[in-house]
Amino acid sequence: MKILLVQDRLRSGGTERQSVLLANAFAAVGHTVTLLTFRPGGVLRPTLAPAVRQAMLQPLDLGLDWFAPGLLRHSYRFDPDVILCMGRMANCYAGSLQRRNPRAAVIGTLRTGKSLPFLFRRSLAAVRHIVANSREARDLLVQRHRLPPAKISVIHNSLVFPDAGRATPADRAATRAQHHAAPNTTVLLCVAMLRPEKLQRELIEIAAGLPAALDWQLWLAGDGPARAACEQLTHEKGLTDRVRFLGFVRDPSALYAGADIAVHASASESLSNFFIEAQAHGLPCVGYVAQGLGETFLSGRTGWVIARDDRDAFRQRIVTLAATPQNERAQLAADARDFARTTFDPAGQVAAYLKLFAQLTP
């Protein structure tokens, strides 16, 4: 089978990591795979397997995520059986791709909690099929956008680092020492691009109001346009010794091993890759309500959804988890790992995609 994945750029976001994982997995089982990006480069480009062909539409990086010169011409030349559109910009072109390639099964995807542009919505009506990465995302498409349920499949995101949870106490101690966290420090972790909609600023505000008796650090792994504002807020709050900006981390496994609680305030989720990975490493999760968030953990057992802007409730959950006895934390971690590795197993998700492709193609 000839499979074409379309993505605007291989930046460090969750959708981009899923694009690379799927492309590599499809190629590994013998399919002919091309990953077509609008912009060249990207920090994830080195993680593509040699068997995956990468094609780039912009000869030089113009900094324009939406600009896709020659997309329809190139897609027709590849003569794919399946075109899988990943990300907002790619999905805006999905309808045109289906019209240009009537033989191919063009599959749109919904993996964002942001509002959908007109071209995105129009494309979803025109493509052969849609994959939503959470049940809540599927329900949104059916209830708000009036798309037929039979046209939509739910395939959750895959664990990008499936061998998680094997860190030793020495690994944990080494990571914490690297970031000057004492053994009794409660380390809060967020792994996400620093974009305004990810709301790392809110996490800083929440942490700033934690009880004085709690020794804590907040680790922010990721980079992006909101970093400068977050650093400025940290300085204004006098928290430069507590909030760590770690930049882009290709494999955050060591950070999960060194942290205690995963925290997220994002308003733009459809299914949080970060919380999936955190669960696989045994971390309890606390986040503001967002689309699909409750599908990433065992609600009330390994993760908690907090009403948006209820900082006091968010802080209280952190304090409660920090005081949880070690034996209870060990059981919580085991439950989280079992849930994540069963629900988001990469082999199962890849098989679901390939089964769908077979159903949609002659």
Helices (H) and strands (E) in the chain, counts: 14, 13
pTM (two decimals): 0.88
Report pLDDT for 162.
67
Q: Which CATH number among 3.40.50.2000, 3.40.630.10, 3.40.50.2300, 3.40.50.300 corresponds to the domain 2-158+345-360?
A: 3.40.50.2000
pLDDT < 50 positions in the chain: none
Q: Is 329 helix (H, G, I), strand (E, B) or coil?
A: helix
* Cβ neighbour number for residue 2 with a 10 Å cutoff: 15
Cα distances (Å, whole numbers) of residue 165 to 134, 253, 297, 301, 350: 24, 8, 16, 18, 22
Q: How far apart are CA 23 and CA 21, in angstroms?
A: 6
How confident is the model over 238-288, as pLDDT tens digits?
999 999 999 999 889 999 999 999 999 998 888 999 999 999 999 999 999
- Residue-range domain boundaries for the chain: 2-158+345-360, 169-343
Same fold? 2-158+345-360, 169-343: yes
Q: How far apart are CA 55 and CA 62, in angstroms?
A: 16
Say whether domain 169-343 belongs to CATH 3.40.50.2000. Answer: yes
> What one-character DSSP code corresponds to residue 299?
B
